[in-house]
Structure 1
Amino acid sequence: MVEQIDDVQTGRQARPFGQDPVEDGQSALQELLSDPAHDYRVFKYGDVVEGQVMAIGRDEILVDIGGKSEGVIPSREFSTLSPEELARLQPGDRILVFVMQSEDQAGQAVLSIDRARQEKSWRRLQEVYEAGEIIEAEVVNYNKGGLLVNLEGVRGFVPASQVIAIRGGDESTKQADMARMIGSRLKLKIIEINRHRNRLILSERQAVQEQRDAVKAQLIETLREGEVRRGRVTSIADFGAFVDIGGADGLVHLSELSWSRVKHPSEVLQVGDEVDVYVLSVNPEQKKIALSIRRTQPEPWSRVASAYNVGQLVRGTVTQLANFGAFARLEDGIEGLIHVSELAGWRVEHPREVLNEGDEVIVRIIRIDPARRRIGLSLRQALEAADEEIEAALGPEGVAIKQQLLDRGITPYPEEGDSEPEDEPTAELDEEKAEAESETPPADNGEGA
C-alpha cells in the first residue's frame, strides 16, 4: 500500500494513489454549491429585481442583487432619475432594477433603473386598464395626429379627436391648439394597451364622460323634486337648454324657460349664464333630470286680477300671428289675444294685413278670465280713445304709438265702401282655437345629457 504524501506548498493533503480526480472535483463543486455562503441567484434578461445600492459614481451605480458579483447600472440607464432623486440616493438604499445582461466581460450583471421604472409602469398601466380607472398625465409633446404624454417612463398617445380642448377647423388651428397644451396635465382613460408593441392609446373625452356619469349617478341619488339649485348653462338646442347643476346636466325644456312665449332658448339664455333652476323630475333609470327656470319666478297670472281691469288701456308687443288674431305680450308671462274683429275698423282677413311680429301697440282690455288664463284685447277700441285718455294711462309714449299705427293706415274707422265690423259670435271660440294652435308643446321631461 502506497503511503499518503502531503503537498507542503499548497497545504492540501495529497490524494491516495489510485483515487479518481474527476470524482474528487465533482464532490468539491457540490460542496461549494451547497454552502449557504455561496447561494448566488441566476438572472436572465428581463428580470425585474430589488437590489441594494453599494456605491454611486458619476458614470455608474453599483448594486447588490444577490449575484456572484455586484451589478452595474451605466449612466445611460438611470437617465430618468431627476437631479434631486439622484442626490437623495445613498448607499444602502434599496431600488428596483431591470436585468439588461446577466453578465458582461467583467462578470457583472448590467442593470437599468430606466427600464425597471418602465416595466413597473407597464404593469401598473395594465392594472389600470383592466380596472377601468382614470389616470392623470402630463403632455410632453405632440405630432400630426395628437398629443404625447408621459406616464412614468411610458409614452402614451392621445388622438386629437379624443382631446376636448382641440377645436375643429384647418390643420394649422389644430396644431396650434396642441402646441399650447404642452406642459398641461390631462385626466385620461386607457382605451388600448399592448406591451409587446409598445402601444398605449388614451382618451380624455372618455375619462371626462365617465367622471361626469359617476358624478351624475351620485347626484341623482340625492336630488329631490321641488329643489332649487344654482347652475350654469352648458349648451343650447332648439328644444331647450342644458344646465350643469353640480357635475350633471339637466334639461330646461323650451316651455320651462320663461313664463313668456319663447321661440328659441337663445332669446333668453346664453352658454355660460348662471341661473336658478327648479327640479321638475328625476329619472334614475334613464339618468335624466328635468329642470325649470320659470318656476323659480313668481307666476304672473297670480296678480292679473289686481293689476288689470276691463276697459283699461295698456301697451303690448305683438308676439305671434294666428289665423284668428294676434297675440300681444303685456308683460313677461302675460299675453292677450287681439281677435281679427278687434284689429281695425274694417273686416281683416288675416292679422298680417295690419301687424307684424314685434310691433308695439296700444290696446284696450275687453275681457279677463284669470281661471282660464286668457285676456281679450282690442286694438281698434284703443285707437278710438282720445289722446288725453291715452296720455293719462300710458304717457306720451302711448300717444306716439297711436300716431305710428294711424300713419301705417290702421284706423278704427271703416274703409270706404266697407262696413264697420261687428263682434262675431264665434270670437271666443276662434280665440280658443288660435291660442291652442300657438301653445308650446309639452316638455319632454328629462331629455337630459
Structure 2
Amino acid sequence: MEMNKAPMGQEVAPENPMSDQEPEEEMTMEALLAAEGLEMDFPKRGDVRQGEITGITDQAVLVNIGAKSDGQIPLREFDRLSPEEREEVLQIGQRIPVYVLGFDSHGAPRLSYLQALEAEDWERAERMKESSELYEGTIAGYNKGGLVVRLGRLRGFIPLSQISRERRQSLQSDRPDPSWKELIGQPIVARVIEVDRSRQRLILSERAVARQARELLKERVLAQLQVGDVRTGRVTSLTKFGAFVNIDGADGLVHLSEISWEHIDKPEDVLQVGQEVQVKVISIDPERKRIGLSIRQLREDPWKTKAASLRVGQLVRATITRLEKFGAFARLENGLEGLIHISELSEQRIEHPKEVVKEGDEVTLRIIRIDPEARRIGLSLRKVDTLAYADLDLQMALAEAEEELEQLLGLEEAAEEALPNEEESAEARVEAAAEEASPEAKAAGESPEAALEAPEEASETEPKGE
C-alpha cells in the first residue's frame, strides 16, 4: 500500500491513461472547419451552382463546383442543345450553371446543366409573379385548352378564359381548331398568375394586361413601321367610319374611303371580322399612337383606266343613283359615278334635285369637268342641247360614224377571206371524184383523170344498136 503512495506534493500518474476512454472519431473537414470557427459552403442536393468546365470526355463533361472532386454531366444531355449553343457552352474553362442531383459512391457530384437552366427559369417566373412584371414573347402553340408560350425552357399555358377579347374576336373560331395555327409566332404580352414548380405548372393571363399589352405592342410597332410599308393583318372590328386591322399586335384604322375604290356605304359590304387582308401604311402619328392604313391603294385604280376614254363635252348615258340637297349622282355606263350639281340640272332655279330627276332615271348627260387627282366627274343635264357644244357634237358624231364604218369594212373583209376560191374548189372536186374511181381502172394502171374520161370515149365509138 505504501509503495503506491506518491511523495508529498506529487501526483500519481495513471498507468494507462487511455484505458477508460473510447478512441476519438476521425473529424470531417466540415467539423474541423466548424471547430475553428470557419464555415465552408459545400454543395448539397438541389443546389444550383456556378461551375467551371475542367474536362470533356466521350461520356461526360467534368465541372468543378468546389467539391472534393469534379462533378460530371452526361455528355448526351448536351445533345438537346442547338449546334450553336453546344459550341458556345462546351469549352474548357467555360463557367456554366449546374444543378446538383446528388453524389456517387465516391462523393463526386452528379450534375445537370439543363435542370439548372430550368431552375433559373422557375426562379425568374416566381419573381415575375411577385413583381407583376409583364411577359413578352410569342405564341409557341395551342391545344384544346388554350395557348402555349415559352418562358426560357419552361412551357407556359394561357387558358381560353385568359385570352384577350380582341384576339378571340380576330379568330375564325371561338374554340381551338386548325385555323388557330396562324397564331403561332404572333407576339403576345401576358402576366404570370400562377407558379407551381412541384407540379410543373406555369399559368399566364393575356386578358389581365390587355390594355397594357395593346399600348406596349403599339409603341413597339410604331417604332418599326414606316409610311409605305405593306403588312398582312386581320380585321378586328368594324365601325361606321372604317375597319380596325391588327398588324403585328397593334391596331390601325382603314378609313371607309380607303377600303375600296368603289363607293361603299359601310365596311360590312366588303369586309368581315377575322378576315385576313393586306394593308399599306399611309400615316403614322407617334404622339397620338395612331396608324392609318389603306386596302384600296394596293389595288389598281379602275377610275383612271375607265376615265381615259372620256373627254370634256362628251355626251354619255347614265342612271341617277342618289339625290342630295346639292345635286344628283349618276352612274355612267362604264361604272364611274359623277355629280350633276343642282345648278346643272335645269335652266330654271330649283330648290331640290327631286324637282327634275329621281333615283333610277336613265338620262343623257354632258361631261363638263374631269378631275383625275380628285377622281371626280362633273356632269350637266341642262347643257345637253346647248349650242356651245354643237361643233364638238358634230365632230364626235362624225368620229363615231367613221369608227362604225371601219368596223363594218373589217367585217366584210373577214367574210371575203372566209369564202373559198372557185378554181381551188373545182380542183378539189376533181380530186375527190378521182379517189372514188373504179378499182378496175386503178388495177389497169390508168391515172385517176383517165379513168374519169374513159367512159365518155367509149360511148362515142360504140356502135348503135340495130
In the TM superposition, what are the counterparts of 1:79-98 in structure 2 within 5 Å? 80-81=80-81, 89=90, 92-98=93-99
**Residue in structure 1 matched with residue 321 of structure 2 by the alignment:** 319
**Residue in structure 2 matched with residue 46 of structure 1 by the alignment:** 46
Equivalent pair of 2:367/2:377 in contact (CA under 8 Å): no
Equivalent pair of 1:320/1:328 in contact (CA under 8 Å): yes
> 2: CA distance between counterparts of 1:361 and 1:104?
100
In the TM superposition, what are the counterparts of 1:46-65 in structure 2 within 5 Å? 46-54=46-54, 56=56, 60-65=60-65
Equivalent pair of 1:77/1:115 in contact (CA under 8 Å): no
In the TM superposition, what are the counterparts of 1:70-81 in structure 2 within 5 Å? 70-73=70-73, 80-81=80-81
**Which blocks of at least 5 consecutive residues in structure 1 are unaligned?**
3-14, 298-306, 367-372, 400-449
**Residue in structure 2 matched with residue 135 of structure 1 by the alignment:** 137
**Residue in structure 2 matched with residue 111 of structure 1 by the alignment:** 111
> 2: CA distance between counterparts of 1:143 and 1:245?
24
**Residue in structure 2 matched with residue 123 of structure 1 by the alignment:** 123
Equivalent pair of 1:41/1:67 in contact (CA under 8 Å): no
In the TM superposition, what are the counterparts of 1:30-429 in structure 2 within 5 Å? 32-33=32-33, 41-54=41-54, 56=56, 60-73=60-73, 80-81=80-81, 89=90, 92-101=93-102, 103-126=103-126, 130=131, 131-136=133-138, 139=141, 142-159=142-159, 167-169=171-173, 174-177=176-179, 185-192=185-192, 193-196=194-197, 197-201=199-203, 209-215=214-220, 235=235, 237-241=239-243, 251=253, 253-254=255-256, 263-264=265-266, 272=277, 277=282, 284=287, 287-288=289-290, 315-321=317-323, 326-328=328-330, 335-337=339-341, 355-356=359-360, 361-363=363-365, 377-378=380-381, 382=384, 392=394
Equivalent pair of 2:139/2:147 in contact (CA under 8 Å): no
Deviation (angstroms), 1:213: 1.6
The verdict on how the C-alpha distance between 1:35 and 1:54 changes in structure 2, with shifts beyond 3 A counting, is farther
Counterpart of 2:201 in structure 1: which amino acid? R
> 2: CA distance between counterparts of 1:71 and 1:213?
48
Tell which structure's C-alpha radius of gyration is larger.
2
Which shifted more, 207-216 or 390-399? 390-399
> 1: CA distance between counterparts of 2:22 and 2:195?
52
**Residue in structure 1 matched with residue 433 of structure 2 by the alignment:** none
Equivalent pair of 1:323/1:350 in contact (CA under 8 Å): no
Counterpart of 1:47 in structure 2: which amino acid? D
Q: How many residue pairs end up in the alignment?
A: 345
> 2: CA distance between counterparts of 1:293 and 1:178?
24
Deviation (angstroms), 1:20: 9.2
> 1: CA distance between counterparts of 2:84 and 2:257?
62
> 2: CA distance between counterparts of 1:82 and 1:119?
20
Equivalent pair of 2:327/2:339 in contact (CA under 8 Å): no
Counterpart of 1:119 in structure 2: which amino acid? A
Q: Any idea what SS the aligned residue of 1:335 has?
A: strand
Deviation (angstroms), 1:115: 1.4
> 1: CA distance between counterparts of 2:63 and 2:148?
33
Deviation (angstroms), 1:165: 12
> 1: CA distance between counterparts of 2:85 and 2:228?
48
Deviation (angstroms), 1:239: 1.7
Per-residue CA distance 1:127-162 (angstroms, 9 max, x = gap): 5665425235755xx532245455443122355756
The verdict on how the C-alpha distance between 1:391 and 1:190 changes in structure 2, with shifts beyond 3 A counting, is same
Per-residue CA distance 1:95-150 (angstroms, 9 max, x = gap): 3211233x4554344332221110122234455665425235755xx532245455
Counterpart of 2:340 in structure 1: which amino acid? G
**Residue in structure 2 matched with residue 429 of structure 1 by the alignment:** none
Counterpart of 1:18 in structure 2: which amino acid? P
Q: Any idea what SS the aligned residue of 1:362 has?
A: strand
The verdict on how the C-alpha distance between 1:53 and 1:377 changes in structure 2, with shifts beyond 3 A counting, is closer
Q: Any idea what SS the aligned residue of 1:46 has?
A: coil
The verdict on how the C-alpha distance between 1:393 and 1:263 changes in structure 2, with shifts beyond 3 A counting, is farther
Q: Aligned-residue CA RMSD in angstroms?
A: 6.3
> 1: CA distance between counterparts of 2:80 and 2:117?
9
TM norm structure 1: 0.51
> 1: CA distance between counterparts of 2:92 and 2:56?
7
Equivalent pair of 2:345/2:353 in contact (CA under 8 Å): no
Counterpart of 1:363 in structure 2: which amino acid? L
Per-residue CA distance 1:159-212 (angstroms, 9 max, x = gap): 5756789943386xx44345688xx64544342241434333457896984554
Equivalent pair of 1:277/1:293 in contact (CA under 8 Å): no
The verdict on how the C-alpha distance between 1:397 and 1:134 changes in structure 2, with shifts beyond 3 A counting, is farther
Counterpart of 2:241 in structure 1: which amino acid? F
Per-residue CA distance 1:409-438 (angstroms, 9 max, x = gap): xxxxxxxxxxxxxxxxxxxxxxxxxxxxxx
Equivalent pair of 1:339/1:378 in contact (CA under 8 Å): no
Equivalent pair of 2:187/2:248 in contact (CA under 8 Å): no
Q: Which has the higher contact order (CA 8 A, sep 6+)?
A: 1
Equivalent pair of 1:232/1:243 in contact (CA under 8 Å): no
Equivalent pair of 2:55/2:62 in contact (CA under 8 Å): yes
> 2: CA distance between counterparts of 1:200 and 1:35?
45
In the alignment, does 2:22 pair up with 1:18? no
Counterpart of 2:17 in structure 1: which amino acid? G
Counterpart of 2:322 in structure 1: which amino acid? Q
> 2: CA distance between counterparts of 1:290 and 1:52?
54
